[in-house]
Structure 1
Amino acid sequence: MKHLTILISSAGRRVGLIECFRQSAATAGISLDVLACDMDPGMSAACSAADGAFAVPPYGDPAFVDAMIEIVRNHKVDLVVPTIDPELTPLAASLDRFEALGARVHVSPPCVIDLARDKLRTAEVLGAAGVPVPWTVPFEVGRVATELSNGPAFLKPSAGSASRGIRIVNGPDDLPDAADEPMVLQQLLVGPEFTVNLFVDQAGVMRSAVAHRRLRVRAGEVEKGRTERDPMFRSLAEGVARALPEARGVLCFQVIVDRETGPRVFEVNARFGGGYPLAHHAGAEYARWLLEEVAALPSTAHDDWRAGVLMLRYDAAIFEG
């Protein structure tokens, strides 16, 4: 039996992701140890659910990567799984250090991460590849952009996530005089919102694309959702993969089917999304396929997942002491 050790970074509340990896390992015949780290592991449910937990500095601290390297070295970690966008940049820049220890970091190259972390570049690159995107302009241009005459828009941080700092702008008078960080002005989309999860294998082939409707969202993360199969989402996924040829592993993107302009892709996350457990339980076991790659086992990747699978999240608790 193959044995692997994985490290979930910025583990927070990602108990569901840990359970997906454990279930996948058992199904694939892999013996698995799950480690987790966070700034305050004693207050993290996922760290409590892991086989071992460690405190690390925040992702913006120069010591963050060093702390991760130390865990990998001391515990012979085979796979590091980041869970939040801001930590992707320092980890992607340090891939050679992890590889020297025999560990794979589940992160795409810096060129992919840089693009996904910049909403303006995301819109430009996806649009150039033929993916339908909302009109998007820098905040400075947006102050005088004629696009505002077409109706309301979103003002959002260019590198924001989890719906942080988003506001609706109805006209030039609603724009602030200045911003504390780079901002973009983007077409306000009105319609049902979906997340599409992708799995791209090590050869760069997209093996699966699973869409779910975001029925209810809390703090930017899907709370209730249902998988839906539509050729439109597969086509959008192929376009995103074509636009990001160096992307590897698990990614997801957000799309709103606007009632006037049709589908528009407006965000890419180059990591496991918060709603990944829904795709997993629908039969798209990306966690298993990732473990198979790391363990050098034959891939069971496929696109034969189930539509109509409903996820209803609820709050649970872990008790200690």
Structure 2
Amino acid sequence: MNILFTCAGRRRYLLKYFKEVIGEGGNIVATDMQLSAPALTIADVKIQVPRVYAEDYIPKTLEICKEQKIDVLISLNDLELPILSKCKADFEALGVKVIVSDPNVIDVCFDKYKTAGFIESLGLKTPRTYVDYNEAVAAIKDGELKFPLIIKPRWGSGSIGLEFVDDLEELEMVYKLERKKVMKSILATASVDDNFLLIQEVIKGPEYGLDIANDLKGKYRGVSVKQKLAMRSGETDKAITVDNAKIREIGATIGRALKHIGNLDCDVLERDGEFYVLELNPRFGGGYPFSQEAGVNMPKAIVAWAQGEDVANEMFFPKYGKMFSKCDILLNVGE
């Protein structure tokens, strides 16, 4: 089996996990805008490609699939997901299984305002969220929305453009500045509505990361819950797997309703014993290795499913009480 990772970036561990599954019987192929991307150091084949919004990005990726005889394609970038999702049929015509959910799923997850509405439709809690600046200010003055608040891109990626504000004066200044910043960033192309910033209440309390596993038909299979102990640049830096039935049920509810395929990275915040779902990312997230190292094996499951085989649901539930921490390493990425 040959597996292509697009926008491989820094997710070196994921390529390693999949290589351990397929062994020497197949190739890990990785693409990125820069051949110095850390993840490419573990790939059997590394290829430089244009930016995801370039006109020739999809044709180039299709060409790579043909040349490298790719069986499975996995994207590691939020901004690429809507593009690949709409073009799945082109890849499937080549015999490539694209581990990217359907466009309606990507839309719900990528548009954080729609995410909030979806979560509420399931009877789950989510932070108060506004896309209209004037409505948010009115809610503040009426006492429905209280500081501190967070301003962030509606169609965002990672921690780009996140800012906290503590009063109305700061809200006005930061909101105007963030609008300009987003329009100058890579997020400008993804922002398809004039209301491209969110104003959201801040939930203070323990934070959890969920890896919600669905099979390639969108059927819920299991969930791994980790309590985040430390963060760095918007990613989980230290975490411990926990046995929390309430949060597991939240994950199961989302997985069954959303019908995504593969892994769904989900953030949950706790306040006064209540749990609030913050974001849904239909891909492998930066917190996935904490699940893998605690016994979860989504790469093995994806390879099995792609070959028409099945795996036991126990594969998606971790051993509890396992704590891990990331650390930096230096890689030789070539001349």
TM-score (norm 1): 0.92
Tell me the residue number matched to 2:55.
62
Which residue identity is paired with 2:238? K
Structure 1 residue 243: Cα displacement = 3.5
RMSD value over aligned CA atoms? Answer: 1.8
Q: Name the CA distance, whole Å, in 2 between partners of 1:184 and 1:45.
A: 32
Question: 1:161-197 CA distances to partner (integer Å, 9 max, x unpaired)?
Answer: 2221111222322223632451111111101111100
Q: Name the CA distance, whole Å, in 2 between partners of 1:110 and 1:149.
A: 32
Is the partner of 1:143 in helix, strand or coil? helix
Tell me the residue number matched to 1:270.
282
Tell me the residue number matched to 1:11.
8
Question: 1:233-254 CA distances to partner (integer Å, 9 max, x unpaired)?
Answer: 1111122124313x11111110
Unaligned runs of 5+ in 1: none
Q: Name the CA distance, whole Å, in 2 between partners of 1:45 and 1:187.
A: 36
Tell me the residue number matched to 2:307.
295
Q: Name the CA distance, whole Å, in 2 between partners of 1:139 and 1:174.
A: 17
Tell me the residue number matched to 2:113.
120
Which residue identity is paired with 2:21? S
Question: 1:16-60 CA distances to partner (integer Å, 9 max, x unpaired)?
Answer: 11111122335xxx823101000011x112112100000111111
Is the partner of 1:298 in helix, strand or coil? coil
Structure 1 residue 125: Cα displacement = 1.0
Tell me the residue number matched to 1:307.
320
Q: Name the CA distance, whole Å, in 2 between partners of 1:233 and 1:150.
A: 26
Counting helix residues as a fraction of each chain, which structure ranks higher?
2
Q: Provide the aligned length of Structure 1 versus Structure 2.
A: 312
Which residue identity is paired with 2:151? L
Q: Name the CA distance, whole Å, in 1 between partners of 2:268 and 2:145.
A: 23
Q: Name the CA distance, whole Å, in 2 between partners of 1:122 and 1:108.
A: 15
Is the partner of 1:144 in helix, strand or coil? helix
Residues 126 and 239, structure 1, Cα contact 8 Å, conserved in 2: no
1:204 and 2:222 correspond = no
Q: Name the CA distance, whole Å, in 2 between partners of 1:203 and 1:12.
A: 28
Unaligned runs of 5+ in 2: 183-195
Residues 252 and 269, structure 1, Cα contact 8 Å, conserved in 2: yes
Tell me the residue number matched to 1:254.
267
Change over 3 Å in CA distance of 1:126–1:149 after alignment to 2: closer
1:125-274 paired onto structure 2 within 5 Å: 125-140=118-133, 141-146=135-140, 149-176=145-172, 178=176, 179-180=179-180, 181=182, 182-245=196-259, 247-259=260-272, 262-274=274-286
Residues 224 and 317, structure 2, Cα contact 8 Å, conserved in 1: no
1:10-49 paired onto structure 2 within 5 Å: 10-26=7-23, 31-41=25-35, 43-49=36-42
**Kindly, what percent of the aligned residue pairs are identical?**
28
Residues 212 and 252, structure 2, Cα contact 8 Å, conserved in 1: no
Structure 1 residue 297: Cα displacement = 2.4
Question: 1:145-172 CA distances to partner (integer Å, 9 max, x unpaired)?
Answer: 2356533211111112222111122232
Q: Which runs of 4+ in 1 moved over 4 A?
A: none
Change over 3 Å in CA distance of 1:37–1:154 after alignment to 2: same
Is the partner of 1:47 in helix, strand or coil? helix
Structure 1 residue 232: Cα displacement = 1.2
1:86-97 paired onto structure 2 within 5 Å: 86-97=79-90
Q: Which moved more, 1:273-282 or 1:236-245?
A: 236-245
